[in-house]
């Protein structure tokens, strides 16, 4: 259901704000899977509460997991997984790729479907992999949603080769459930490079923290069968959701601080430190968090974003406002995300008078004076964030369906307005 258009506010002065962020979606949904498969209860502290994470929690509840709330935290009590069940994955890549291996461990049928666009997203490799590992899946020959997993209560596991060049989630989905497979799993990737290596590192890190035995080498991941422990999992702030707030410091020549920025993290959003510095920002990390300061203008960016593709929409918006051209490459896989992000960014930037064009694996953006207009978001949360950043410098931008940002940051428009409010 669409929400009314949002008039993106213009910044009339440099921003000077501290912006706390909710928890990481990527960490929250991995923690929920591991907790549901653990042998003891788990407390997930400071999780993200958003459409994507609620979809994951509801999916696991449908399979029998006990997931309750204690204030803002989630308490997960492992239970026997069983169908029949119906699961809605929405448009969440983590749910559509992480949940089917869990469903294969359940006893009974689990029907899996999602939003219309979800039926177009790459699922063939994980369906084929699960079949090779011993699961029974009826997808009507589509290699896509909707499909039914006919679980027997166990999965044999073993070795499997897949092409995960469309999404690292195809590997992570298999690894997260692998400790519960009879033989564990060895996943071997064959094909173009797997995107978003930091997310795979996050999966491995969280598996090991839960007690799993994981070995990795180039394009091979091995997880041994064994128990997962419960306990407490503390979720870091979502660093990718910091992109537009930190970018506002560049656009307005101001200052934005994000508290609790971790000293070490597997989150792809940590790359913002180097990327924004390359555009001319002053970036420092201290006791108060990560602080970005802008000055009188900023330059374009020439960067390979293969590992951090989710940052592309905001970086493209910055590029459209920069003082020199930008070239963003390594991101052909974004054509299979919530929308075809490359085509969407070109259409919307050019619709405001900009000069953006698609490359075989990315975008080339040359700054031009922009004008107001409707910015379509294609049910993609990061398109809303890109539009908000453009709106700081371009009066009259009307953002279509801003409510889609609830996928990862439900209070975004309120936080955006708060950031711009005078101190």
Residues 6+ apart with CB under 8 A from 234: 45, 46
282 is a catalytic site residue: no
Place of tokens 């173009």: 192
**What span, in angstroms and rounded, lies between the C-alpha atoms of 35 and 15?**
40
Cβ atoms of residues 378 and 338 within 8 Å: yes
> For 4, which DSSP code?
P
| CA atoms within 13 A of residue 21's CA, in its CB half-sphere | 27
- The β-bridge partners of 215 are 222
335: nearest Cα among 115, 25, 94, 120: 120
Q: Of 281, 354, 274, nearest to 319 (Cα)?
A: 354
16-18 and 220-223 strand pairing: unpaired
Strand partners, 375: 399
Do residues 248 and 258 touch, judged by C-beta distance below 8 A?
Answer: no
Two tokens, residue 123: 């699922």
Give one DSSP letter per residue of 370-418, joined into a string.
---EEE--TT-HHHHHHHHHHHTTSTTEEES-GGGGGGT-TTHHHHHHH
Q: Per the annotation, where are the binding residues for 3-phosphoshikimate?
A: 25-26, 30, 167-169, 196, 310, 337
Residue ranges of the annotated binding site are: 25-26, 30, 93, 121, 167-169, 196, 310, 337, 341, 382, 407
What is the rounded distance in angstroms from the CA atom of residue 397 to the CA atom of residue 400? 10
174: helix, strand or coil = helix
DSSP 90-149: TT-HHHHHHHHHHHHHSEEEEEEE--GGGGGS--HHHHHHHHHTT-EEE-TT-SSSSEEE
C-alpha to C-alpha distance for 129 and 332, rounded to whole angstroms = 23
β-sheet bridge partners, residue 18: 257
Considering only CA atoms, which of 296, 288, 287 is closest in space to residue 322? 296
Question: CA angle, corner 66, sides to 68 and 85, nearest 5?
Answer: 120
Q: How far apart are CA 35 and CA 45, in angstroms?
A: 12
- Which residue in 186, 236, 307, 310 is the catalytic one? 310
Find the angle CA(164)-CA(410)-CA(251) to the nearest 5 degrees.
85
Residue 236, both tokens: 């870091």
Q: Which residues are catalytic?
A: 310
């Amino acid at each position: 259901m669409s929400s009314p258009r949002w008039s993106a506010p213009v910044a009339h002065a440099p921003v000077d704000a501290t912006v706390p962020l909710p928890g990481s979606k990527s960490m929250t949904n991995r923690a929920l899977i591991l907790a549901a498969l653990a042998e003891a209860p788990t407390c997930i502290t400071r999780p993200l509460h958003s459409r994507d994470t609620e979809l994951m929690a509801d999916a696991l509840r449908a399979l029998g997991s006990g997931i309750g709330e204690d204030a803002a935290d989630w308490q997960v009590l492992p239970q026997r997984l069983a169908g029949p069940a119906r699961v809605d994955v929405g448009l969440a890549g983590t749910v559509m790729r992480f949940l089917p291996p869990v469903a294969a461990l359940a006893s009974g049928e689990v029907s899996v479907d999602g939003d219309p666009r979800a039926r177009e997203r790459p699922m063939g490799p994980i369906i084929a992999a699960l079949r090779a590992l011993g699961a029974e899946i009826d997808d009507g020959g589509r290699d896509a949603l909707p499909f039914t997993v006919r679980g027997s209560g166990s999965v044999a596991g073993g070795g499997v080769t897949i092409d995960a060049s469309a999404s690292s989630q195809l590997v992570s989905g298999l690894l997260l459930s692998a400790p519960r497979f009879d033989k564990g799993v060895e996943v071997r990737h064959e094909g173009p490079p797997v995107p978003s290596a930091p997310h795979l590192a996050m999966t491995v890190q969280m598996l090991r923290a839960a007690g799993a035995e994981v070995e990795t080498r180039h394009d091979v991941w091995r997880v041994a069968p064994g128990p997962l422990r419960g306990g407490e999992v503390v979720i870091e702030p979502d660093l990718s959701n910091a992109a537009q707030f930190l970018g506002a410091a560049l656009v307005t020549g101001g200052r934005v601080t994000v508290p609790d920025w971790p000293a070490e993290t597997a989150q792809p959003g940590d790359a913002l430190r180097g990327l924004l510095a390359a555009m001319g920002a002053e970036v420092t990390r201290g006791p108060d968090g990560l602080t970005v300061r802008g000055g009188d203008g900023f330059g374009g960016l020439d960067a390979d974003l293969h590992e951090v593709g989710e940052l592309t929409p905001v970086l493209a918006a910055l590029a459209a406002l920069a003082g020199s051209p930008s070239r963003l490459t390594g991101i052909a896989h974004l054509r299979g995300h919530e929308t075809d992000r490359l085509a969407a960014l070109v259409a919307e930037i050019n619709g405001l008078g900009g000069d953006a064009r698609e490359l075989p694996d990315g975008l080339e953006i040359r700054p031009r004076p922009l004008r107001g207009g409707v910015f379509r978001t294609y049910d993609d949360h990061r398109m809303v964030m890109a539009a908000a950043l453009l709106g700081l410098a371009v009066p009259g931008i009307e953002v279509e369906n801003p409510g889609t940002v609830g996928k990862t940051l439900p209070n975004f428009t309120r936080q955006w307005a708060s950031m711009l409010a005078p101190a």
